[in-house]
Structure 1
Amino acid sequence: MTKLTVAIAAEFELCEKIAEFLEKSELPVEKLSIVEITPFGEEQGVRFNNRAVAQLAVDEVEWSEFNYLLFAGDTAQATHIANAAEAGCVVIDIKGVTANIAGVPVVVPSANDEHLAHIKQRNIVAMPDPQVSQLVLSLSQCIEQYQLTQLFVTSMLPTSYTDGETVSKLAGQTAHLLNGIPLDDGEQRLAFDVFPKSAVNLSAQLQKIYPTVNAVFHAIQAPVFYGMGQKVTALSAYELDPEQIKAQWQGNELLQVEDNLITPVLNGEQESHEESVKLHLSNLSAVENGIEFWSVADEQRFNLALLAVKLLETIEQRIE
């Protein structure tokens, strides 16, 4: 296999997780570099194969030197995607900043890999938002087989879904309130509370993967550090058999069917002691012409880091 040079552009915590999965993969990564689109602290450094990874300022980067860029920035930083792609570097847009651009395929690994045939149009492939990825993986095997017509999804978003700074803010607010210290006037309360979040463009991203499926997304900010939970109702023109769907889930190595309810916190505690991360599915039951279920994944380690590396592996396999 051809040796690869790979750049990661993400905040520190996500860079660490991506590097971890790259190291566990069979990809022949000869050189890994970090592009600091978000400045790291002095004590923050990423290691890969027991070596420190070089950290580059954006204006120092020669994109043509890299085969791949794993990009997890925001819309304001999207010019880096364009610059890398124009230089011949294949960009995996992990957070779906470019997902709604014409000609950019939106791909969830193992669900619609055939859409990678269009990657050379722009040298960019987008993963959808983690809310969409989690939904697609849970239903990819039965959307077409059972002609699902309508999906209703409520996502409970952890603070890590936003960024590492929001995780720190939740920790600080929790400590303050437990010690009887009030929050600043006008400060958005994360600790011990919930509030609605907008779900912009998620239906459009899903329809780039499955054009005939309509979905309604709702999102609630939850006082959880890591791990996203989704309550899903899927409706069909026909009666669905939950046992058949459960059997399909059990045949997918990315999924873990749970006998008991698993929550984001419980999942985090369990996976901290395990080598693998999964999308956990539980509470599957039948409704009229449909099913409902609950799914949980660490959206940082699973939906972003692991799936990005899986997508890179798939692209490399198709090139060969």
Structure 2
Amino acid sequence: MGYRVAVVGATGNVGREMLNILAEREFPVDEIVALASRRSLGSECAFGDKTLKTKDLDTFDFTGWDMALFAIGSDATKIYAPKAAAAGCVVIDNSSLYRYDAEVPLIVPEVNPEAIDGYAKKNIIANPNCSTAQMVVALKPLHDRATIKRVVVSTYQSVSGGGKEAMDELWNQTKGMYVPGQEVAPSKFTKQIAFNVIPHIDVFMEDGSTKEEWKMVAETKKIVDPKIKVTATCVRVPVFVGHSESINIETEDFLDEDEAREILRGAPGIMVVDKREDGGYVTPTECVGEYATYISRIRQDGTIENGLNFWCVSDNLRKGAALNAVQIAELLGRRVLKKG
């Protein structure tokens, strides 16, 4: 016996990936529905070899549905997630709305699966920010071995994290660079993104950090360990899909780079590609469509007593969003609902 599953925001980048991954991983579905706003009513979405026509989220009754994967942003989630949860449908939310709610578990299944037991307080489970998700998958096994004290991370985040409009802007600006008179002014971004990098994701906060950087700090503490100190600089780069991160960690106990490499090789959700030769590392274009978080360039940091550097790459539409949500659904099924 399988589950009745709703995908909310099925016509967006993340919603479509959720449907793809549910089908790829053969999630035990008895019935599935694609929900979207009224303006997308009747749009078609692929689910394996089936085609689903979207239904109206505004009038949908979640009663009798087991779980709903939400990918519609915080404003709409604030309206519809409580309705679904009140109807007995467990909400797995990809927005930032519930991530910092003490009564809502924030889950990365490879890292803190036990936290899912707290879902019943609100019938809602939060999915972390894309940049956090891939980083904590790498941090957890190293933290278990040597206790991480501090993390310094610089991100190189693809435009797909900003949605379809952001991807279109990169594409149109790139084309416009070669056609005189067809230049495209920034709209989704604050500055030109084509052939450029922008050290600004989300809004600025009072201390000078951006909201994206604050998310990485707060979410790492909630998912891994509240004692870890995190400082982040988040940068948007002209890549369509795939986030990259340069990560430096300081640990309480010494951790040799060779041991770290072996720990990461054996950790769930991680692929280590770390050859000290030309091309012996993974770039964002190579991780698109993959489930794994890739780790490369593992090396000792000799400037501090117990330090390591490494490079971390993942498909942000998958592990950073849709895949993690589906993995939460799988965990919920195995650990709580136990129907599939």
TM > 0.5: yes
Report Cα offsets for 1:168-191 as digits up to 9, x if no partner. Answer: 111011101122336456643111
Q: Counterpart of 1:227? A: 242
RMSD: 2.0
Amino acid at match of 1:301: R
Q: Counterpart of 1:31? A: 31
Distance change in 2, residues 1:40/1:241 (3 Å): farther
Q: Counterpart of 1:245? A: 260
For 1:257 and 1:23, locate their aligned partners in 2 and report how far apart those are by CA, in whole Å.
27
Give the ranges of 4+ consecutive aligned residues of structure 1 lying more than 6 Å apart after TM superposition.
none
Q: Counterpart of 2:277? A: none
Residue 297 of structure 2, aligned match among 283, 288, 291: 283
For the residue of structure 1 that corresponds to 2:95, the secondary structure is coil
State the Cα distance separating 1:123 from its structure 2 match.
0.4
For 2:132 and 2:158, locate their aligned partners in 1 and report how far apart those are by CA, in whole Å.
15
Q: Counterpart of 2:139? A: 139
For the residue of structure 2 that corresponds to 1:142, the secondary structure is helix
Whether contact under 8 Å (2:169, 2:186) holds in the other structure is no
Q: Counterpart of 2:327? A: 310
Distance change in 2, residues 1:63/1:139 (3 Å): same
State the Cα distance separating 1:61 from its structure 2 match.
0.7
Aligned residues, how many? 312
For the residue of structure 1 that corresponds to 2:317, the secondary structure is helix
For 1:77 and 1:252, locate their aligned partners in 2 and report how far apart those are by CA, in whole Å.
36
Matched, 1:214 2:229: yes
Whether contact under 8 Å (1:283, 1:293) holds in the other structure is yes
Matched, 1:61 2:76: no
State the Cα distance separating 1:266 from its structure 2 match.
3.6
Q: Provide structure 2 residue ranges, at least 5 long, that are not aligned to the other structure.
A: 201-209, 275-279
Q: What TM-score results when the alignment is normalised by the length of structure 1?
A: 0.91
Q: Counterpart of 2:91? A: 91
Percentage of matched positions with identical amino acids = 23
Report Cα offsets for 1:195-241 as digits up to 9, x if no partner. Answer: 11222333112211221111112100101111100000010123211
For 1:36 and 1:206, locate their aligned partners in 2 and report how far apart those are by CA, in whole Å.
31
Whether contact under 8 Å (1:32, 1:54) holds in the other structure is no
Q: Counterpart of 2:177? A: 177
Q: Provide structure 1 residue ranges, at least 5 long, that are not aligned to the other structure.
A: none
State the Cα distance separating 1:116 from its structure 2 match.
0.8
State the Cα distance separating 1:119 from its structure 2 match.
0.6
Whether contact under 8 Å (2:173, 2:184) holds in the other structure is no
Q: Counterpart of 1:261? A: 281
Whether contact under 8 Å (1:153, 1:231) holds in the other structure is yes
State the Cα distance separating 1:55 from its structure 2 match.
0.8
Whether contact under 8 Å (2:217, 2:229) holds in the other structure is yes
State the Cα distance separating 1:50 from its structure 2 match.
2.1
Q: Counterpart of 1:196? A: 199
For 1:183 and 1:98, locate their aligned partners in 2 and report how far apart those are by CA, in whole Å.
39
Whether contact under 8 Å (2:8, 2:57) holds in the other structure is no
